[in-house]
Every structure is written in structure tokens, then in C-alpha cells.
Amino acid sequence: MHPIDTLGRPLRDLRISVTDRCNFRCTYCMPKEVFGRDYEFLVRDLLLTFEEIARITSVFAGLGVHKVRLTGGEPLLRREVESLVEMLASIPGVDDMTMTTNGSLLARKAEALAAAGLDRVTVSLDSLDDATFMAMNDVGFPVSKVLEAIDAADAAGLGPVKVNVVVKRGVNDHEVRGIAEHFRGTNRIVRFIEYMDVGRTNGWKMDDVMPAAEMLAVIAAEAPFEPITPAYPGEVASRFRYTDGSGEFGVIASVTRPFCGSCTRARLSAEGSLFTCLFATGGHDLRALVRGGASDEQLRDAITGVWTRRGDRYSEIRSEATAGWQKVEMSYIGG
């Protein structure tokens, strides 16, 4: 039996954070002021082991999950993460195995990840200008290394590579057109992401958001495009293809056009908590169940119970309730 939540949404995707650590300090995500030298990251014993992650994932697969994405923190910081990829990729029912990474360690890992069964990779890259990129990652990491990582991933068969670009007003919004142009015709799929509030850590304000509608207008001035019908219900990005056949790109309008209604994603944190929304404040402790000797049936019942009670639609509620959030007319976005 595949569970359905209170809003009729099935469980289809699992995002697994394999570490809470990152070697970047992106100002919009893990700013130095919060994640500085004194910040206490999880000690090893608190992290789920690969065997525990694989066991939990196989239970999720039995409940309808077929798409698994490894993330973090920075997933490639977890030692021998390719062994985990191999374990997860062999779980019956898991037919799409992906990873989101900042690319810093990807060039040397790409072949091993592909050999282990990773299907595709998404690489985050917010700017093509070193000064801007280094100011955003705040550790002085250069653009060229990420571009090399994207090439290495492509060569290893992890393509088509998606490139995530978080757009922050006054920081890199002037680059939307240039980034779209840079990747047009290259088989890399750029996804421009509206800057989101990730809690009290990044000092989010609506003024810092470039609405996706504006991004589309900027790109349209350079190259005409048309909407692509979503590949499956619940696809996060609204996708577009250039009418001259030079590829596609997407926008993720989490702020101005929340897509809670079609969200089929569960999240497993590095310490084994199950979250039913990116913005949920509390998780459900699956590690305690696993380490307490729960059977697969008990795990399945616990996850089913959480999912069938799920009613999260945080982004939509916030969008409706907060005067400062603009509703942008984006009727020309497909899907």
C-alpha cells in the first residue's frame, strides 16, 4: 500500500542529507556568522550509517519512493559516499539516483560515482564571475573549478548535468541572461532558483528575491522559448525550451509560485529525522527506531503514519498570509 497524505499527495521522492557539513559558506545558506569555527556539527555516532540509510531507503521504496537524491551539507564530504550510492542504486524500485553538489570534489569523484550507479548530478553554481562567486561561496572557491567538475561529470556519463543558480537581488541578478547564454546549446540544464528564506540564518527579505517572472523576461529578450510540459506531476522546476532548438532551462519559483500542492518529497536528515517539508521545524526520529531494533514492518508503519498525517503547505500559506510577499502573474509558465 502506498500512502497518500491529507492533501492527496503520494510519496515519490526521498532527499537524503548524508552530512550536515559543507566546505562552502554560501551567504544565503550556511553563512560564516552562524556556521563559524564554534559551530557544533554532528559527531559521527549521531550520523546514520550507510547500512542504516540503505535500510530506511528500502522501506521508503516499498512505500512508493522511486527517486532518491543525495544532498547535504556537501554530500561529497562524506567519506566513500560512492559505496552508499551503490547500496541505494541496487534497491528494487529506486530507478532514479541523483546528487546535488557544490562540485568542489566532483571532478575526482565523478567516475566512481557513475560506476556505483549514480544516474545524474546537479551542480550548484551561482555566478560565472569569480569575484561574485567567491563573495557568495565565501571561501574563495573559483568558478573554473566548478566548470571543470561539470565537464568531468558529463564525461563520466552523469549528464545531462543540471546547474542550480540561486539568484539574489543586487548580488548576481545581473547575470541571469549571461548564465543562460553561457549554457545555451551545451546540454547543461540551468535552473534559476528564487532566493528562499531558510530560517533565521540568512536574514531573508522579499526585496532580495528576483521573481522568476522577471528572470524569464530577461532571458526572453535574448532568446525566445516556450514551456515544456512537466515530465511528471510534482516536478520542481518549470521548464522551457528555446524555440531555436538550442536546449532547455528551468526556473524554480518557490517564493512567488509555491508548488506545495504537488510536493511528493520526504527528507531524511543526516541524523535520521524524517521531515515532510523543507520548512518543517520538527522531524520524526527514525534513527531511534532503527537503533532500537524496530522491524521493517514497524519502520513502514511509522513512515506511513507520518505521511498519512502530512498536511504541510508552508510556502503557499506564507505566500497567502504575508503582505510582503508579492504574487507575481506567471500565467505563461507551463505546468
Closest to ligand SAM by CB, 193 vs 260, is 193
Bridge-based pairing of strands 265-268 and 273-275 is antiparallel
Of 35, 133, 195, 275, the residue at the interface with ligand SAM (CB under 6 A) is 195
Closest to ligand SAM by CB, 202 vs 276, is 202
Of 166, 189, 253, 290, the residue at the interface with ligand SAM (CB under 6 A) is 166
Write the DSSP string, 243-301: TTSS-EEEEE-TTTS--GGG--EEEE-TTSEEESSTT-S--EEHHHHHHTT--HHHHHH
Q: Which amino acid is at 56?
A: I
Of 139, 155, 198, 288, the residue at the interface with ligand SAM (CB under 6 A) is 198
Of 3, 20, 28, 315, the residue at the interface with ligand SAM (CB under 6 A) is 28
Cβ 102 to ligand SAM, closest distance in Å? 4
For cell 509560485, what's the residue? 257
Considering only 51-59, 84-92, 188-196, 239-247, which stretch makes contact with ligand SAM by CB under 6 A?
Answer: 188-196
**Residue 196 is a binding residue for ligand SAM (CB under 6 A):** yes
**Residue 159 is a binding residue for ligand SAM (CB under 6 A):** no
Q: Which of 317, 315, 286, 313 is nearest to 302 (CA)?
A: 286
Cβ 238 to ligand SAM, closest distance in Å? 15
Bridge-based pairing of strands 225-227 and 189-194 is unpaired
Of 48, 161, 193, 306, the residue at the interface with ligand SAM (CB under 6 A) is 193
Q: Which amino acid is at 129?
A: D
Cβ 3 to ligand SAM, closest distance in Å? 26
Considering only 7-15, 189-197, 273-281, 306-314, which stretch makes contact with ligand SAM by CB under 6 A?
Answer: 189-197
Cβ 90 to ligand SAM, closest distance in Å? 23
Phi, psi (5° rounding) for residue 297? -65, -40
**Residue 238 is a binding residue for ligand SAM (CB under 6 A):** no
Q: Are 4 and 113 in contact (CB under 8 A)?
A: no
Buried b (16+ CB within 10 A) or exposed e, 271-290: bbbbbbbbbeeebbbbbebb
Closest to ligand SAM by CB, 202 vs 256, is 202
86 Cβ contact partners less than 8 Å away, ≥ 6 residues apart? 116, 117
Q: Rounded CA gap, 164 and 235, in Å?
A: 15
249 Cβ contact partners less than 8 Å away, ≥ 6 residues apart? 180, 183, 184, 189, 190, 191, 192, 219, 225, 239, 240, 242
**Residue 186 is a binding residue for ligand SAM (CB under 6 A):** no
Closest to ligand SAM by CB, 98 vs 164, is 164
**Residue 202 is a binding residue for ligand SAM (CB under 6 A):** yes
| C-alpha dihedral (117, 20, 154, 149), degrees to nearest 10 | -140
Closest to ligand SAM by CB, 5 vs 312, is 312
**Residue 34 is a binding residue for ligand SAM (CB under 6 A):** no
- Tell me which DSSP letter residue 91 carries: S
Binding mask 7-26 for ligand SAM (x = CB under 6 A): ---------------x----
Q: Which amino acid is at 175?
A: E
End-to-end CA separation in angstroms for the chain: 28
Pick out residues in 52-111 that bind ligand SAM (CB under 6 A). Answer: 71-72, 74, 100-102
Cβ 109 to ligand SAM, closest distance in Å? 13
**Residue 164 is a binding residue for ligand SAM (CB under 6 A):** yes
Chain positions contacting ligand SAM, by CB under 6 A: 22, 28-29, 71-72, 74, 100-102, 124, 164, 166, 193, 195-196, 198, 202
